[in-house]
């Protein structure tokens, strides 16, 4: 007939005594009736449950589905993604498959905080951290958060104990709202920032070495308003209306020149439409995206367009005497794509959105 009997032990590691029923009659073998603290649950085959060991804490379990749980205390906590699993140094080979009934009999705790790159977490002190390579990196201020294009709604609150269990990395550098540290120059961004629209703006001429190689850019507005806007802000060191003249002499160029202290560079805009420049701007400070006049055909120009060039330092530009205009030598022109790219990365350009 065989031996049989009932014994009690904590089979599942949840701190509750479970009934182990040994019954070899008719080869029924060993079954377990787990306890939920109030009653014993129906019989389950020992081989379906699997023995979790004596404490249970730190065990890894899964049911018939994909989710994996870490046992902490008497609760199972979902491991939210493979990155978290790996960054915690957990061994996939330690995951035990158990019956769904057994799994559901273990109390469900809060999910573990994700350590996936890009995850956002904060504890009781309100500091927000960005997960990167298994570490939490402090985001120093809301401006940096917004500049990085992060989502406030994606921040996960975690307990301080969970937060402190994540290795602390270096804090992220502070950024301005418009900073884009990894930005790469696009001609369309340059044109759209200059005209603050996207209406068929184009580079209009490459007639000499400087223009072919972007040490100066001639462009044309694609719509009728012909409005021009400052690529970067700074001190207006020249604001002088020009004239459309048959002689095509550059001393009559309608000119705006702006010195940006942070870049230590002077941006010069030429050929602005006659009467469109507010000459009282000279000596004042304006911001990126502020209007500076309208595109025109003044001075040495053969068709409406805007000429832009950039020079190092605070250049001397004085167009008050058309017979003796003062402007930096052409040899000092800078490669505009690099200058524009640097300005965008530093948050100094109002890109058209």
Q: What is the CATH number of the domain that holds 248?
A: 2.70.70.10
**Rounded to whole angstroms, what are the CA distances from 320 to 32, 228, 255, 309, 326?**
98, 21, 10, 19, 9
170 falls within a domain: no
DSSP, collapsed to helix, strand or coil, labels residue 76 as strand
Number of domains observed in the structure of the chain: 3
Task: Tell me, yes or no, whether 102 and 124 share the same domain.
Answer: no
* Cα–Cα dist 11/59, whole Å: 13
**Mean pLDDT for all residues in the chain:** 86
Whole-model pTM: value is 0.55
Please identify which residue in the block is written with the tokens 């040994």. Answer: 22
Categorize the per-residue pLDDT at 111 as very low, low, confident or very high, splitting at 50, 70 and 90: very high
> Same structural domain for residues 139 and 9?
no
pLDDT value of position 49: 47
Which neighbouring-strand residues pair with 266?
A: 259, 311
| Tens digit of each residue's pLDDT (9 = 90 or more) over 229-238 | 999 999 999 9
Inter-helix orientation angle 336-345/187-195, to 10°: 70
Q: Are residues 229 and 322 in the same domain?
A: yes
**Token digits of residue 164:** 């402190």
Residue count of the chain, please give it.
Answer: 353
Kindly state whether residue 293 falls inside one of the protein's structural domains.
yes
pLDDT at 1 over 60: no
Residues 79 and 152 in one domain: no
What pLDDT was estimated at residue 262?
Answer: 92
User: What would the pLDDT profile of 169-190 be if each residue is shown by its tens digit?
Assistant: 999 988 776 788 899 999 999 9
Q: Which residue has the higher pLDDT, 305 or 40?
A: 305
User: Domain boundary residue among 86, 108, 130?
Assistant: 108
Q: Are both 61 and 125 inside the same structural domain?
A: no
15-64 pLDDT, tens digit per residue, is 555 544 545 444 444 454 555 555 555 655 544 444 444 335 678 999 99
Domain with 98, as residue range(s), is 4-108
26 against 345, higher pLDDT: 345
DSSP label at 42? P
Same domain as 157, residue 194: no
Q: What is the mean pLDDT of residues 214-219?
A: 96
Does the residue 178 lie in any domain? no
- Element of type H or E holding 205: strand 202-205
Does residue 54 sit in the same domain as residue 154? no
Domain endpoint, select from 108, 130, 156: 108
pLDDT of residue 43: 56
In-domain check, residue 115: no
Higher-scoring residue by pLDDT: 44, 113: 113
Compute, in degrees rounded to 10, the torsion defined by CA atoms 148, 185, 193, 325.
130
What is the percentage of the chain residues whose pLDDT exceeds 70? 84
Examine the domain organization and report whether 192 and 332 are in the same domain.
yes
Whether 337 and 205 share a structural domain: yes
Q: Give the residue from 68, 85, 108 where a domain finishes.
A: 108
**DSSP single-letter state for residue 305:** B
Q: Are residues 216 and 100 in the same domain?
A: no
Residue at 177 is within a domain: no
The answer as to whether 113 is a domain residue is: no
351 in a structural domain = no
pLDDT the model gives residue 182: 92
Q: What is the pLDDT of residue 73?
A: 82
pLDDT of residue 209: 84
Residues 137, 224: one domain? no
| Domain co-membership, 103 together with 37 | yes
Please write the tens of the pLDDT for every residue from 139-175. 998 878 877 888 989 999 999 999 999 999 999 988 7
**N- to C-terminal Cα separation, the chain:** 84
User: Residue 4: is its pLDDT beyond 70?
Assistant: no
Residue 171 lies in a domain: no
Band of pLDDT at residue 74, cut at 50, 70 and 90: confident
């Amino acid at each position: 007939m065989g031996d049989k009997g009932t014994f009690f032990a904590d089979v599942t590691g949840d701190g509750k005594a479970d009934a182990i029923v040994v019954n070899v009659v008719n080869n029924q073998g060993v079954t377990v009736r787990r306890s939920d603290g109030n009653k014993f649950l129906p019989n389950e085959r020992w081989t379906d449950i699997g023995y979790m060991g004596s404490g249970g804490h730190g065990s890894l379990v899964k049911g018939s589905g994909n989710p994996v749980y870490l046992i902490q205390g008497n609760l199972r906590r979902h491991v939210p993604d493979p990155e978290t699993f790996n960054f915690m140094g957990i061994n996939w080979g330690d995951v035990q498959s158990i019956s769904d009934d057994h799994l559901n009999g273990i109390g469900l705790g809060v999910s573990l905080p994700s350590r996936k790159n890009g995850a956002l977490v904060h504890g009781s002190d309100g500091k927000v951290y960005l997960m990167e390579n298994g570490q939490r990196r402090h985001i120093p201020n809301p401006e940096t958060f917004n500049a990085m294009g992060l989502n406030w709604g994606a921040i996960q609150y975690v307990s301080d104990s969970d937060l402190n269990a994540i290795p602390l990395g270096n804090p992220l550098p502070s950024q301005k709202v418009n900073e884009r540290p990894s930005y790469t120059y696009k001609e369309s961004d340059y044109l759209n920032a200059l005209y603050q629209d996207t209406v068929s703006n184009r580079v209009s001429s490459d007639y000499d070495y400087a223009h072919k190689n972007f040490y100066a850019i001639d462009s044309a507005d694609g719509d009728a308003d012909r409005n021009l806007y400052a690529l970067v802000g700074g001190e207006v060191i020249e604001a002088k209306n020009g004239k459309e003249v048959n002689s095509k002499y550059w001393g009559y160029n309608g000119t705006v020149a702006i010195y940006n202290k942070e870049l230590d560079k002077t941006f010069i805009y030429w050929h602005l439409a006659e009467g469109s420049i507010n000459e009282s701007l000279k000596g004042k400070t304006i911001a990126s995206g502020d209007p500076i006049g309208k595109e025109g055909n003044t001075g040495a120009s053969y068709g409406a367009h805007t000429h832009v060039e950039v020079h190092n330092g605070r250049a001397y530009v004085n167009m008050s005497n058309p017979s003796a205009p003062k402007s930096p030598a052409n040899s000092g022109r800078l490669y505009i794509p690099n200058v524009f790219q640097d300005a965008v990365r530093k948050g100094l350009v109002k890109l058209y959105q």
